[in-house]
Amino acid sequence: MKISIGCDHIVTEMKDHLVGYLKDKGYEVIDNGTYDKERTHYPIYGKKTAEKVVTGEADLGITICGTGVGISASANKVKGIRAALVGDVETARYAKSHLNANVLAMGGRILGIGVIEEAIDTFLETEYEETEESKKLIEQIDSISMNDESLNDEHYFDEFIEKWNNGGYPTT
């Protein structure tokens, strides 16, 4: 199974640890970055990680930022993504078994590494249990359509980043 993973600068060390953790368990990993602690922007890595899933390059995605909120919201904007922001193992299980979530999102500054590893294990190992109801609900979610013009556009955030670098946004 191939896993697409991404994070922002707040939790790079944790992401690097999880890349090793996943590889040790035999998963193939696409590490979308970020790769250091330089201030960056979670929408970039939510989008990159999610794109690998919807294009079929990866089977599932894992995203982490400080709270998990920003990066999960970003991943969810990619058409076909159902990113679940979870804070416990049971929710990770439900996300896969009932929602067939294809991205697991967590807050690296909120949760301990033990919970994060266990949530990942559970998410990856749990099977989706399709029912008529879950199928219809997922169809409804997926029909809340967004345009996909931005898919795999490496320069999609250029204008945003330029404005940021030029002081166009608060730095906190």
Q: Annotated catalytic, 98?
A: yes
Q: Does 69 bind ligand RB5 (CB under 6 A)?
A: yes
- Minimum CB distance to ligand RB5, residue 88 (Å): 18
The window from 29-37, 54-62, 65-73, 79-87 that contacts ligand RB5 (CB under 6 A) reads 65-73
Q: Residue ranges of the alpha helices (H) in the chain?
A: 12-24, 42-54, 69-76, 89-97, 113-125, 132-143, 158-165
In the region spanning residues 42 to 61, those forming contacts with ligand RB5, defined by CB under 6 A, are: 42
The nearer residue to ligand RB5, 52 or 107, going by C-beta atoms, is 107
Write the DSSP assignment of 37-50 as a string of letters.
SS---HHHHHHHHH
Q: Annotated catalytic, 65?
A: yes
From the centroid of its chain, how far is CA 40?
16
Q: Does 10 bind ligand RB5 (CB under 6 A)?
A: yes
Choosing from 7, 9, 41, 65, the catalytic residue is: 65
Burial label, 128 (beta-carbon count in 10 A; 0-12, 13-18, 19+): middle
